[in-house]
Chains A and B, each alone.
Chain A
Amino acid sequence: MAEKFDAIVVGAGPSGNAAAYTLAKSGLKVLQLERGEYPGSKNVQGAILYADALERIIPDFREDAPLERHIIEQRMWVLDDASFIGSHYRSDDFNKPPHNRYTIIRAQFDKWFSQKAQEAGVLLICETTVTDLIMDGTQVIGVRTDRLGGSIYADVVILADGVNSMLARKAGFRPELNPGDVALAVKEIHFMPEETIASRFNVSGDAGVVIEMIGKITKGMMGTGFLYTNKESLTIGVGCMLSDFKKQKISPNRLLEEMKSHPSIRPLIEGGEMKEYAAHLIPEGGYKAIPRIYGEGWLIAGDSGMFVNAVHREGSNLAMTTGRIAAETVIELAAQGKACSTKNLAAYRAKLDQSFVMKDMKKYQNLPDILHRNPQFLTTYPELLNQAAHIMLKVDGVDKKSKEKQIRSNFAHRRSLFGLVGDAYKMWRAFE
């Protein structure tokens, strides 16, 4: 007779580790399966760690977690071909511990998080791909893997297997991903001396900067670019909706190359040694793309459940939070001696509805559609804004009143008065 566990967690990313850790802490017998050589070796993120979500799981994580830099400055750039206009927010309050967010390197961070889960009692088996869920009618009762030979059983299986979630799809829990519901991001890591980063980004010690970018760098596709400072490296990347990549037939690698050569970006990364190139899908379909997340003997957490707030660039915190809440739901049922049935696991969804996770997902539910149908927000407006700044700031003997007139006429010419009013309304609707 095969061994039976209280819970099996598939995947050792933020949601899987949060779930496994929480379950094991409460004394449940947990098996966690990871297909990579070690936790993190298959995982890709920008990456920003939001402290709050992890604090609720491991309050003293700062003592030994591998953190790169705490963020004291956020830059938002709107780029034209040769220029950018932007806002910077920097505050010394962000320099005071406990820090609110950090850059991290996922291969190191996930390994650390997994170590914590193992110390809590989780049995982790790596280099093992889960190939199928074992069903008894409609109930999930275990998993089959490509390594262990035979089957492993559990009262509940938590799918934290990432955006592609082959398992949920094979089992029919959710349909294939739609190209309009995922973004493809590519990124590189460039190493350079700490002093170079400190002087280029005007920071000292462990303080860091993040730059988020929109505009011409995405060639009319809906997406964003980013540049994050790590301790001794920079992460630079760009992500756009896969449906846009498909429609416009743009090579993601070339898109990143062109972004890196932008005159405002190139000097920041110059001289760095590129040590890794990665790509990843980000589930950005929003609230309407969330599939069924629980059923008879199963729960879905993290990217696999499409839990990403694209507007605020949040994902790993939603992954940790959904992983934790999935585990807490299972723990409560176990304590009451109740089965992990569809009816009982509905508590998971109810808890998420009450949390910031679903509230935020709901708030922006119309945004993906609006941006899809209105690409001008990411193409025409960045150009117009940069033009406006250029006209106002260039001293050339033209009086300011004429310059304002020129700017107004540029806007009206490109979008018409009705277009401008309509766009303002659409943005208000999307964010209200």
Chain B
Amino acid sequence: MSTAAKVEEKLFQNRYKVDAGRPHISIKNPDLCAHDCDAQQCAVCCPAGCYTTEGNGRIVLITDGCLECGTCRVICDDHRNVEWEYPRGGYGILFKFG
């Protein structure tokens, strides 16, 4: 395996039960991320790379690979712009080893 594995390749090893169409995390006000948040630390610090910055400065969130750690919610302490819940029971990451 390459010594600099991309996070997508790693997540591929994990087991998930995706709750299709019902993401458990959402951005409350997407405009705020695009215009009022210079740091956009979620796009760097999410360990599963769920947040990406688009060319126009907007943040795109895809929760399918989420490891349910809580980083994005806690780290957004300047704006509190992340709506974070646990997935419905049984859904989300299912650690084989943990």
Contacts and interface: CB of A to CB of B under 8 A. Distances in A.
Contacts of B94: 36-37, 41-42
Interface stretch (A105-113, A291-299, A353-361, A416-424): A105-113
Contacts of B98: 40-45, 47, 105-107, 110, 278
Interface of B is mostly: loop
Contact of B70 (A106, A163, A249): A163
Interface string B61-98: 00000011111011101001000111111101111111
B65 to A, nearest CB: 10
B4 interface: yes
A279 B69 contact: yes
A253 interface: yes
A277 B13 contact: yes
Contacts of B28: none
A127 B89 contact: yes
B85 A166 contact: yes
A186 interface: yes
Interface in A16-62: 35-37, 40-45, 47
A43 B67 CA distance: 10
B27 interface: no
Q: Which of A41, A43, A106, A126 has the most CB of B within 10 A?
A: A41
Contact of A146 (B39, B73, B88, B92): B88
Interface string A258-298: 00110000100000001111111100000000000000000
A249 B39 contact: yes
Contacts of B13: 274-277
B11 interface: yes
B23 interface: no
B20 interface: no
Interface string A237-255: 0000010011001111110
Q: Which of B44, B75, B87, B98 has the most CB of A within 10 A?
A: B98
A261 to B, nearest CB: 5
A129 B39 contact: no
Interface in A105-140: 105-108, 110, 126-129
A220 interface: no
Nearest to A108: B97
Q: Which of B39, B44, B87 has the most CB of A within 10 A?
A: B44
Given A177-B74, A246-B75, A274-B10, A280 B69 contact: yes
A145 interface: yes
A146 B89 contact: yes
Interface in B39-74: 39, 41, 44-45, 47-49, 67-71, 73-74
Interface of A: 35-37, 40-45, 47, 105-108, 110, 126-129, 145-147, 163-164, 166, 176-179, 182, 184, 186, 188-189, 233, 242, 245-246, 249-254, 257, 260-261, 266, 274-281
Interface of B: 1, 3-5, 7, 10-11, 13-14, 17, 39, 41, 44-45, 47-49, 67-71, 73-75, 77, 80, 84-90, 92-98
